[in-house]
Amino acid sequence: MQVLENSISVFLLLLVSLSLAFDLDSHPSFMLPVKVSRESRDLPLGLPLVINTWPWPGATQRAWDVLTTGNGSVVDAVVAGCSEAEKDPVIDSVGFGNHPDESGETTLDAMVIDGETRGIGAVADLRRIKEAVAVARAVMDHTQHTMLVGEAATKFAVAMGFQETSLSTDLSKQIHSNWTANNCQPNFWRNVTPDPRQSCGPYSPIKGPSSQPQSASESVSERNHDTIGMIAIDGDGKIAAGTSTNGAQFKIPGRVGDTAIPGSGAFVDAEVGAAAATGDGDVMMRFLPSMAAVEMLRGGVTPYNAAVEALARIARVFPDVKAGIVVAKKNGEFAGACYGFETFEYCVVEALTGQVQVIPVSCFSLSENKEPSLPRSISSIVAEIITAFGSIALSGIRHAVQLVGAVLDVAVCLFAFYTIYDFILHGGESTVLKLPAADKWEWKTIKEKVLSRCPQLEH
């Protein structure tokens, strides 16, 4: 009897151990290595990674090629990717030939951030030089400054070997001509006379309280969104970011947008990740959304929630703002979010597929009580499928083991019950176990042993 009892105990202990081992809720260490939570929408399965604002896959592919086949650094990659956008005539908000300022001239802003060295180079209001992001890199590589602006930035670029050339084209000249014929609408003036909402300048300031409310620019839209912001992460986790733009169309000459502002247009912290933003730069630079998002990553917030909150902070103060952002952790987890745009898309290429994906994003609203619909990369879908099937399989094994254990528990208790009945029927001698009465298997002893195993038989 003792041998049988010990064997059953050991067997039941083994079953319990197996059940606990496969208990996914109590032992998350047994889960598959890929876990997709509700907040972590886009989880690539490896590095390197390139991600940028807006559906410009040519720029994304160029950066990816430099990073993966050209033996280039992450800084090389973002400079090459943003340069590709600067040269693309289809992209009207980056590079030469579009978005003239009030005077009819196209000027450029750009920035490069090296996460490994914490180096930053930027140019703003750059004139007559097409390669804005390359000049920004030259500021980082060849000066102790962070930003150069205006004509002085052009002079620096020429000294670095860049060629001066007009940034205007027939298209940009026609755009400016049509704007002036339309009484210079829209524009960026306020609290001046004559009324900037009805006529062109020159303007003079109005003294006294403001009569023309300040708001986000009405000229910013998904077709006038001004910035490519790009992040590159290599296989070792090194990170860089780059930005480039020709700025807000019909801006006041001398204006510097958010693209060239560290922490606003982009930000990198080599310890945690990076972010790049786009939209109404005059409003966004007051909140440093890229830096805010990266700091939230440091605190353990997921990329998607960091992206949403970085923009929500702006939207709560300026509800008419239009803004988008992409965020990436050092491990390759990424997400995008937007507010105010009718549409927002970003491009990403990662190690899992090696193919550029254009991912649409449904912009969130502060009035919504539910989460917005979410972008889905191929990797996130694959990860969820693997996790789902793995969870189903392990859950099935767990429940099967639990069922077998329950059946055995019932069997043991029924056997014990019959043993008690057998002892009573045969005056203290078991015919089931063939134990003689001399072995002192008395009723009291049997009762104690059985009830210790099956307390439910007490009653």
Whether 281 has a binding-site annotation, put simply, is yes
Annotated ligand binding at 245? The verdict is: no
Q: Is 255 annotated as a binding residue?
A: yes
427 among annotated binding-site residues: no
Judge whether 279 is annotated as a binding position: yes
**258 annotated to a ligand binding site:** yes
**Any idea what the Cα angle at residue 253 is, between residues 252 and 255, rounded to 5°?**
75
The catalytic residue positions are: 227
Q: Is residue 137 annotated as involved in ligand binding?
A: no
- Helix orientation angle between 132-142 and 150-159, rounded to the nearest 10 degrees: 80
23 among annotated binding-site residues: no
On whether the CB atoms of residues 290 and 115 are closer than 8 A, the answer is no
Annotated binding site: 255-258, 278-281
Annotated binding site for substrate: 255-258, 278-281
